[in-house]
Chain A
Amino acid sequence: MTAVDAAPLWAVGTYADGHGRPAPWEISHDEINRDIGVATTVLTQLGVVGRRVLWCSMLSQAGQHWPYVCGTVLAGAKLSCADSTFGEAMRVSMFLRLMDYDAVLGVTNDLLDGLDASGRAPADVFAGVRVLGAYPGAYERLAAAGLTPTRVALCGPAIAIGREPAGPAFVPAAEWELVDLGDRVGITALQPRATSFIRTPIAVRGTIVDGGIVPVSA
């Protein structure tokens, strides 16, 4: 799908290109509004309605995460946010100590390092979390700790989220398509966007399964 004239923009975000380098990503109001609708559906299907959801992310990823942040509220769930860094392990464990969360999405290696450094075992911190979405690396560590994480992967300008533990992670099918470029993964936008994505190489590595991705840690 080709780029559209979208000024003024909603934001300029960033995504990791095929070499893992940050690339600027112009985002229109139309596409973010569309993405919010799609994200609301994804979260509703995950069953978080009426429950608490903690998103771990970075502001530079807001182009990818904002639809899900809004979608959490629009789906009728309660939203909390933390950065996905070493230092924010303190905040993540505080939230989970004080309240019950149905879903924690976006767990990273850095967060788990922070939990380790503060002597908090992930199996204790995340006990009772029904949907524990983790990026490559963190996913494997949580599984090794006896938890049943769900796969989450940043696929360039989109987020892929698993529908069940051990299954592949999916980008919203109405908006994006993951493509196998041989030695790497690419992404194509299926709807008009301010930035053109046509088989654009992205940083995530893994295998495409049933249209989703089973990512591997770097």
Chain B
Amino acid sequence: MTAIPAADSKFFNADVETMSRADLEALQLERLLEVIPFAYERAPLIREAWEAAKVHPRDIRTLADFRERVPFIDKDAVRRFRDERGDPYGGLLCVDPDDLTGVGSTSGTTGDPTLVPEMWGGAGLSSPSIITRDLWGWGVRPGDYVMLVLFTFRGPTYGLFQHSLQTTPILFDFDPAEMERFCELSLRYRPTAVYNFGSVLINAVKDVCDRRGFDPRDVFSSYVGVTFAGEPLSPRARALAESWGVPLYEHGNVGDVTGSFECVARDGLHAWEDTVIVEGIDEDADGRCELVATALNNRISPLLRFRSDDIVRLSTDTCACGRTHVRMWPVGRKSDEVLVDGLSVLPLDVWGAVESVDACAMGLFQIVRTAREVDRLRLRVGYAPDWSARLDGVRDGVQAAVLAATGTEPEVELVPNEALLRLGPPHKIPRVAKS
């Protein structure tokens, strides 16, 4: 384990976090040349993909070789291998199943979750880089209380908070009903960080504060970092949090390989490139590209050139915070886009409009995407229960607001907020539904 640095240290691991680009790429190449033959020899899906592309590990000697020659895989390929071959690990497992200590799973936002095999003891991650470096950078220190507002399906990841960071977690479900307790314990324990928050919870905090007479600025006064993840904050939730002085930081996935976090400069999300190679493919004129990730430290089921379906912008320029690792700016998910008479619509395009209608202030909605190209935008929108007698007016309001925001008038199906919240995974609802 990396030693805890001095409390006034800006970085948890300065040598790695500020490593020069040349040194970082040399380290990546060294690790890549270990993981490639490891995966090729053991993971049948990787082997098949490489053989189909007529590429062998001996062909890869440089990062340029890697980028030019190594074939992509994606989640559909993993699911297809799993279903066709009866291999629950989708052709990615590189160890004897008997040696696993557990099997976790991905969130399942885009469909059936896929399995994440695990071995306690470090074969998945060789350093406490994820979360630890990031929260340290915000100012979280040993002895602090940290609010953990999470799910359990990733397995016992929260051990990181006790061990790597030496903080004390306060445990919550990702559930609006937990926010009264969240406010009470924030005032009692004065924690310094939240992992993880979201728009629905921020709206719930407002309701609790209104009802209980708490000052939300006081509730959040001790925090140095409040991270949100799973989906962007809605405009309304962000405005609320900013008005309370909440130090927000965005957190995202890096292609099922690792995570990324904003730093104090809040100019993109850092991914730790000593653990992952991040690429962008199919870049458009605006610099938007699909995120592709390769695991460097995973020796259980390493993903090589995994297409994430996430649209991002990328930069390897040194950040104002001093870190040299790649930054990304999430734009959306490729498979979330619908074309309505040729007009591109993403969830973020309608979000602000939906939550501008009072009954729908929680911002709960889904785009019903029966096909990528449709004649009319269809939305399923959640409403607060006390509006149930006035739904015609609510529907009219949503239609008008979305028309104004996107240029297309949607067909709107209204459902109670609770019906959408139940769809989980709890930190986000699927923003796109097939039916």
Contacts and interface: CB of A to CB of B under 8 A. Distances in A.
Question: Is the pairing of A and B real?
Answer: yes
Interface of A: 8-14, 22, 24, 29, 52, 55, 57-63, 65-66, 69-70, 72-73, 78-83, 85-88, 90-91, 94-95, 98-99, 114
Given A11-B162, A83-B153, A60 B101 contact: no
Interface string B398-430: 000000000000000000000000111110000
Contacts of B391: none
A72 B102 CA distance: 9
A99 B425 CA distance: 21
A81 B103 CA distance: 8
Nearest to B149: A59
A9 B143 CA distance: 9
B171 A13 contact: yes
B155 interface: yes
Contacts of B113: 90-91, 94
Nearest to B147: A12
Contact of B426 (A24, A66, A81, A87): A87
Given A11-B171, A59-B148, A94 B101 contact: no
Given A10-B162, A98-B82, A59 B424 contact: no
B112 interface: yes
B150 A81 contact: no
B56 interface: no
Nearest to A10: B162
B152 A59 contact: yes
B156 interface: yes
Interface string B300-344: 000000000000000000000000000000000000000000000
Contact of A60 (B115, B145, B173): B173
B421 to A, nearest CB: 8
A91 B181 contact: no
A123 B173 CA distance: 29
Interface string B151-192: 111111010001000101111111000100100010011000
B152 A58 contact: yes
A62 B158 CA distance: 10
Contact of B143 (A8, A81, A91, A98): A8
B148 A82 contact: no
B393 interface: no
Of A13, A80, A99, A114, most B-chain CB atoms within 10 Å: A80
A87 B423 contact: yes
A59 B171 contact: yes
Given A59-B150, A59-B171, A81 B158 contact: no
Of A70, A72, A79, most B-chain CB atoms within 10 Å: A79
B164 to A, nearest CB: 14
A57 B189 CA distance: 25
Contacts of A11: 162, 168-171
Q: What are the 5 A-B residue pairs with the smallest beta carbon separation, nearest first?
A: A87-B424, A79-B102, A98-B88, A12-B170, A86-B422
A88 B175 CA distance: 14
A60 B102 contact: no
Contacts of A70: 156
A85 B175 CA distance: 11
B424 A79 contact: no
B158 to A, nearest CB: 7
A12 B171 contact: yes
14 contacts: A10-B168, A11-B168, A11-B171, A12-B168, A13-B171, A24-B170, A58-B173, A59-B158, A61-B171, A79-B101, A79-B156, A81-B155, A87-B424, A94-B112
Contact of B104 (A80, A88, A90): A80
